[in-house]
């Protein structure tokens, strides 16, 4: 076969695959019936009304770095009785403020939603725990301003590699120099539309352009092929403040 001077023999090119499937982890509804809230001050995690262990897998390849882990909380207040406020805190593994994922208060009945992102600049202690690939226990602590009046009948939490809210934020980073092809599946927990985009390093070919952005309730991003000069970021977002948009799987 005729080959031009300086032409590379593609049969000797190194081709690698990075595959990561964190999915969105779910406690399920922890309240099978209806629970009456007795405490009038925050209970310790040893007296938590509910607890559940969840595990997010850690990427097997160090070139893929998780940058953001999001969580979504759902509680339904069935009744208040003579109480006026229901309080809820969710703590991870340890009973202190650094390990507090949620701290909420509600003054009406009905469905209540809350969502939060953990990352190096926000709830960093929890982020470092959740991204290590080990099991971690979520403790759900409820109290009210009047004992034995308020009732709840739904308690559920989701976590995933992704973001909450209605903007796009960096969820993962991949360090690689050369050609890249990416396929990714994204799920949403909530009522909005998830978004995913790839963003190149600032001095890369394309000058930081977003390679591809698709929207769907359960989307598959494919045919995103580009030249990376060092690294690229994966941005994830949504359209509703209390939604969780998360990576189901990604193949690079």
> Which of 3-7, 108-112, 227-231, 243-247 shows the highest mean pLDDT?
108-112
Chain-centroid distance of CA 36 in Å reads 30
pLDDT band at 211 (very low <50, low <70, confident <90, very high): very low
Which pLDDT score, from 0 to 100, does residue 10 have? 54
φ, ψ for residue 73, nearest 5 deg: -120, 135
| CA 87 – CA 80 distance, rounded (Å) | 12
* Lowest-confidence pick of 90-94, 109-113, 234-238: 234-238
Indicate if the pLDDT at residue 216 is higher than 80: no
In terms of pTM, does the model score above 0.75?
A: yes
φ, ψ for residue 124, nearest 5 deg: -65, -35
Which pLDDT score, from 0 to 100, does residue 4 have? 55
φ, ψ for residue 171, nearest 5 deg: -105, -30
Counting residues of the chain whose pLDDT is more than 70, the rounded percentage is 85
Pairing of strands 151-165, 69-79: antiparallel
What is the mean pLDDT of the segment spanning 112-119?
97
């Amino acid at each position: 076969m005729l080959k031009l001077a300086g032409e590379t023999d593609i049969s000797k090119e190194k081709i690698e695959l990075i595959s990561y499937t964190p999915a969105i982890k779910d406690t399920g509804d922890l309240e099978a019936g209806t629970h009456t809230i007795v405490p009038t001050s925050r209970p310790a995690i040893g007296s938590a009304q509910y607890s559940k262990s969840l595990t997010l897998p850690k990427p097997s390849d160090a070139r893929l770095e998780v940058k953001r882990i999001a969580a979504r909380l759902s509680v339904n207040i069935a009744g208040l009785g003579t109480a006026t406020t229901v309080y809820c805190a969710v703590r991870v593994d340890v009973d202190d403020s650094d390990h507090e994922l949620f701290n909420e208060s509600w003054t009406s009945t009905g469905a209540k939603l809350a969502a939060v992102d953990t990352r190096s600049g926000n709830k960093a202690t929890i982020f470092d725990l959740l991204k290590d690939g080990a099991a971690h226990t979520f403790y759900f602590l409820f109290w009210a301003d009047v004992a034995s009046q308020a009732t709840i009948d739904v308690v559920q939490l989701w976590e995933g590699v992704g973001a909450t809210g209605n903007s796009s934020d960096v969820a993962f980073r991949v360090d690689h120099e050369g050609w890249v092809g990416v396929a990714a599946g994204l799920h949403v927990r909530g009522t909005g539309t998830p978004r995913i985009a790839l963003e190149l390093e600032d001095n890369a070919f394309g000058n930081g352009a977003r390679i591809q952005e698709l929207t769907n309730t359960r989307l598959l991003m494919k045919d995103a092929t580009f030249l990376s000069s060092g690294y690229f970021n994966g941005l994830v977002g949504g359209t509703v403040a209390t939604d969780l948009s998360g990576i189901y799987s990604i193949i690079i």
